[in-house]
Amino acid sequence: MNLLSPLERVKGIGEKTGAQFTLAGLRTVDDLIHFLPRAYEDFSHVTKIIDIHPGKATIQARCEKITTRPVRRGLRITTATLTDATGKLQAVWFNQPYREAQLKAGDEFYFSGEFEFNYNRYQLTNPSAEKVSDMPVQTDRILPTYRSIKGLKTTLVRKILAELRPLMGMLSETLPAAVVKSEGLISHSQALLNMHFPESLESLEQARERLAFEELFELLLASQLNRQENAKLVGWHIPFNQSVVKQFVEKLPFELTGAQRLAAWEILQDFEHQVPMNRLLQGDVGSGKTVVAGLAARQAAHEGFQTALMAPTEILASQHAETLQNLLAPFGVTVGLLTGSVKGAARKHLYSAIAEGGVQVIVGTHALIQESVNFHRLGFVVIDEQHRFGVKQRQELLNKSEHMPHLLAMTATPIPRSLALTVYGELDISVLNELPKGRKPIETKIWSPNSRAQLYPLIDVELAAGRQAYVICSLIDENPENELKSVQAEFKKLQNSIFKHRRIGLLHGKLKTDEKEAVMQQFVRGELDILVSTSVVEVGVDVPNATVMLIEDADRFGLSQLHQLRGRVGRSVHQSYCYLITSTSAKPSTRLKEIERSNDGFYLAEVDLKLRGPGEIYGRAQHGALNLQIATLADTKMIARAQRAAKAFVGSGSDLLQYKELAIRVHQYQRLTTLN
Ligand code: ADP
Ligand code: MG
């Protein structure tokens, strides 16, 4: 038997058990060895009966008397009197009559179970029992518990792993020896032994440290190697032209913030290098990312390069097209919009204009990555709300240029720094941590559902002053029919009674694209006072005159989604308001309280990370694949440590291929996380 043997070959696994493991994705011995415990119960201290306290306990005792009686149909209770040199106690098992046969022999056993008050007395409930003369597997140790596998008892998993213990001792080292040594880590093999058979809490801690390091090291090594490979690429050289940039800035209706200037400067610097830019522009909602991208696009166009900007929704794409049109038209730069709803002759015409360089900035949805789109000297690619796209879509767009274009990925979902290192380890990062001047912090308030009558008049005051409002309805479950109903019902309700005198629009994902577009345009032009919508407006939409964001069933949204939605207001000098109506009058969740308390997206991102974990937040497409079992992306210190080690490894010029297993996993990561 070796690591690659199918589990059926292991003693104690029959065909049926094997099939059960297979269903859980565990096929080989190696798979099971790397199936790590989910938690532990400490049964490692043998207690004398005289010293026993309520809670988990292990005793070493003999069975004095044991009987089983039926209590009712389907329930048989086995009770035993256990004794050691210090005293007696009672143990009880439900529906385990075989205990009689097991314990009658008169040997000494370890019993591990919960000592608790039941049926008017203290007793040991359902303890596992093992002969003292055997190697204990189920008692008298820190007991691992495993993610439950249908049809398999955790005791069976423990038993099989005990069979595999000798093999675990022979596992080869996966990390370079120099790294293991300089980091003071235990070996891979020892770490797995410790995970499955911890001898102490310290040995468990060492195992976790080793395995967490290993996971993060692989991940960060992958991003270091991607960086290295990126540095070998030859891209477009786009020289910086001060007067071009100056003119652009002077024509703006506002002054750039310091953070915008710095980000723009970093981008223009990158443009001058032959190595293609690989940069993430992180900015809180409303921090003004678009104009930064616009400035860079202006510089690119001046040097004869095309810019492509890809946005996740049509609404957003057309809004960006309009914004960029306004920013760039004064300089004779033409902007085209390519979405699914540009059809027929218009589309053909646009295709050829793109191919001939007749348009310099092309804004679109994923329509941009279709085969029939051919660019002309595509030098700069901007991906807005980049977490909405998969790695593959980004790559497809980048591949449309004869040289690797400069890439600017933008996101309004701020990411804690530690996380940015791992999830976006190969990117340079620019941060817009400053809102434009004159913005007033949005006032956020949680309202219970039965206080609506007081809330609506407050909103009407805003509308009377010429402002606009969003009313967002949740997607109650993933069922679009349901979503439709709730948003339509709300629309009718407001239209027919409370806001009879106002102009109300309805927006949801089931409308045809041109219908969506039309409603959105009406709202943008101020022809609607209220927009009742699903969360399709969540991403990026910019209507500065809107000052009220009312969110129904707010507790059904995630923290960053709420922050995004709220970010639709507070985009001008007017005071803005965000009202969060809960679906029940129960006490509001931590999430809602945090969002009520803070307007700072970076702070909320930290909170969100703590509450939900990174997988939920940063999208399965990027994160699910990371498949971290032990490491958590919230462990800043470990991330920094693994980052240093990965850099040192790459810097030392060591050959990764020397470490076969490591190389395979790192290459997998490289493919999953690269942007090139
Ligand atoms: P986001 O970063 O959320 O994508 P946008 O790029 O949509 O933000 O910009 C938000 C709004 O702020 C837009 O209406 C934009 O014109 C405006 N804006 C951007 N920069 C500034 C600035 N420096 N001063 C004033 N307003 C600005
Ligand atoms: Mg935006």
Q: Work out the burial of residue 439: count CB atoms within 10 Å of its CB; fewer than 13 is exposed, 13-18 middle, 19 or more buried.
A: middle
Confidence of residue 389 (pLDDT cuts 50, 70, 90): confident
pLDDT, tens digit, 9 for 90 and up, residues 321-363: 999 999 999 999 999 999 988 889 999 999 999 999 999 999 9
Q: Which residue did the predictor score with more confidence, 559 or 462?
A: 462
Same-domain pairing of 254 and 363:
yes
Ligand having the closest approach to the CA of 384:
2
Three-state secondary-structure class, residue 86: coil
* Widest distance between CA atoms in the chain: 97
The answer for residues whose C-beta is within 8 angstroms of residue 107's C-beta and 6 or more apart is 62, 131, 132, 133
Closest CA to 445 of 562, 361, 346: 562
Confidence of residue 622 (pLDDT cuts 50, 70, 90): very low
Closest CA to 571 of 431, 438, 427: 438
Pocket test for ligand 1, best of 261, 287, 289, 291 (most atoms within 8 A of CB): 291
Q: Looking at ligand 1, which residue's alpha carbon is closest to its atom 5? A: 288
Same-domain pairing of 418 and 551:
no
Q: How far is the CA of 511 from the centre of ligand 2 (A)?
A: 23
Same-domain pairing of 421 and 448:
no
Same-domain pairing of 427 and 385:
yes
Ligand having the closest approach to the CA of 291:
1
Q: Looking at ligand 1, which residue's alpha carbon is closest to its atom 26? A: 436
Query: Ligand 1: which residues within 6 Å by Cβ?
Result: 254-257, 260, 283, 285-291, 412, 436, 540, 542, 544, 571
The pLDDT, as a whole number, for residue 479 is 55
Confidence of residue 676 (pLDDT cuts 50, 70, 90): very low
Q: Looking at ligand 1, which residue's alpha carbon is closest to its atom 22? A: 436
The answer for residues whose C-beta is within 8 angstroms of residue 412's C-beta and 6 or more apart is 283, 284, 285, 287, 289, 385, 539, 540, 564, 567, 601
| Angle between helices 601-612 and 559-566 in degrees, nearest 10 | 160
The pLDDT, as a whole number, for residue 550 is 96
pTM: predicted TM-score of the whole model, two decimal places: 0.72
What span, in angstroms and rounded, lies between the C-alpha atoms of 424 and 408?
13
What span, in angstroms and rounded, lies between the C-alpha atoms of 361 and 376?
11
Taking a C-beta distance cutoff of 8 angstroms, is the pair 367, 391 a contact? no
Q: How far is the CA of 285 from the centre of ligand 1 (A)?
A: 9
Of the candidates 598, 614, 638, which is a domain's last residue? 598
Ligand having the closest approach to the CA of 294:
1
288: domain CATH number is 3.40.50.300
What value, to the nearest 5°, has the Cα angle with vertex 276 and ends 274 and 281? 135
Main-chain dihedrals φ then ψ at residue 670, nearest 5 degrees? -60, -45
Same-domain pairing of 408 and 448:
no
Q: Looking at ligand 1, which residue's alpha carbon is closest to its atom 9? A: 288
Of the candidates 81, 109, 134, which is a domain's last residue? 134
Q: How far is the CA of 414 from the centre of ligand 1 (A)?
A: 16
Indicate whether 25 belongs to any domain. Answer: no
* Percent of the chain that is helix, strand, coil (3-state, to 5): 45, 20, 35
673 pLDDT above the threshold of 90: no
Q: Looking at ligand 1, which residue's alpha carbon is closest to its atom 17? A: 288
Q: How far is the CA of 431 from the centre of ligand 2 (A)?
A: 14
Same-domain pairing of 405 and 457:
no
Taking a C-beta distance cutoff of 8 angstroms, is the pair 95, 75 a contact? yes
Which run of H or of E encompasses 265?
helix 258-272
Of the candidates 91, 111, 134, which is a domain's last residue? 134
Which run of H or of E encompasses 565?
helix 559-566
Confidence of residue 481 (pLDDT cuts 50, 70, 90): low
The pLDDT, as a whole number, for residue 407 is 94
Q: Looking at ligand 1, which residue's alpha carbon is closest to its atom 15? A: 288
Indicate whether 28 belongs to any domain. Answer: no
- The closest-lying atom of ligand 1 relative to the alpha carbon of residue 260 is 23
Full residue range of the structural domain in which residue 315 is found: 242-432
Same-domain pairing of 351 and 451:
no
Same-domain pairing of 428 and 454:
no
What span, in angstroms and rounded, lies between the C-alpha atoms of 604 and 588?
17
What span, in angstroms and rounded, lies between the C-alpha atoms of 377 and 300?
10
Which residue carries 């809330």 as its tokens? 455
For the ranges 219-228, 255-264, 276-285, the maximum mean pLDDT occurs at 255-264
Indicate whether 505 belongs to any domain. Answer: yes
Q: How far is the CA of 544 from the centre of ligand 1 (A)?
A: 9
Q: Work out the burial of residue 25: count CB atoms within 10 Å of its CB; fewer than 13 is exposed, 13-18 middle, 19 or more buried.
A: exposed
Same-domain pairing of 269 and 376:
yes
pLDDT, tens digit, 9 for 90 and up, residues 238-257: 999 999 999 999 999 999 99
416 pLDDT above the threshold of 80: no
Indicate whether 606 belongs to any domain. Answer: no
Q: For residue 423, give Cα distances in angstroms to 279, 300, 416, 648, 665.
A: 13, 28, 10, 19, 16
470 pLDDT above the threshold of 90: yes
Ligand having the closest approach to the CA of 281:
1
Q: How far is the CA of 295 from the centre of ligand 1 (A)?
A: 13
Q: In this prediction, what percent of the chain has a pLDDT beyond 70?
A: 94
Indicate whether 67 belongs to any domain. Answer: yes
Q: Looking at ligand 1, which residue's alpha carbon is closest to its atom 19? A: 288
The pLDDT, as a whole number, for residue 514 is 81
What span, in angstroms and rounded, lies between the C-alpha atoms of 381 and 96?
67
Taking a C-beta distance cutoff of 8 angstroms, is the pair 127, 186 a contact? no
Q: How far is the CA of 539 from the centre of ligand 2 (A)?
A: 7
Indicate whether 676 belongs to any domain. Answer: no
478 pLDDT above the threshold of 50: no
Q: How far is the CA of 412 from the centre of ligand 2 (A)?
A: 7
Same-domain pairing of 495 and 546:
yes
pLDDT, tens digit, 9 for 90 and up, residues 18-57: 888 888 889 999 999 999 998 888 788 888 999 998 988 8
86: domain CATH number is 2.40.50.140
The answer for residues whose C-beta is within 8 angstroms of residue 573's C-beta and 6 or more apart is 438, 439, 440
For the ranges 66-70, 148-152, 295-299, the maximum mean pLDDT occurs at 295-299
Mean pLDDT score of the chain, rounded to an integer? Answer: 88
Q: How many domains does the chain have?
A: 3
557 pLDDT above the threshold of 90: no
Same-domain pairing of 472 and 551:
yes
Extended strands (E) in 38-108: 39-42, 46-47, 55-72, 75-84, 87-94
Residue type, 602: F
Pocket test for ligand 1, best of 261, 287, 538 (most atoms within 8 A of CB): 287
Strand order in the sheet with 546-551: 443-447, 577-581, 546-551, 468-472, 530-533, 504-507
Same-domain pairing of 267 and 394:
yes
Three-state secondary-structure class, residue 502: coil
Q: Looking at ligand 1, which residue's alpha carbon is closest to its atom 16? A: 288
Ligand having the closest approach to the CA of 287:
1
Ligand having the closest approach to the CA of 290:
1
Q: What is the CA radius of gyration of the chain?
A: 31
> How many Cα atoms occupy the beta-carbon half-sphere of 142 within 13 Å?
17
Indicate whether 211 belongs to any domain. Answer: no
Indicate whether 213 belongs to any domain. Answer: no
The pLDDT, as a whole number, for residue 324 is 97
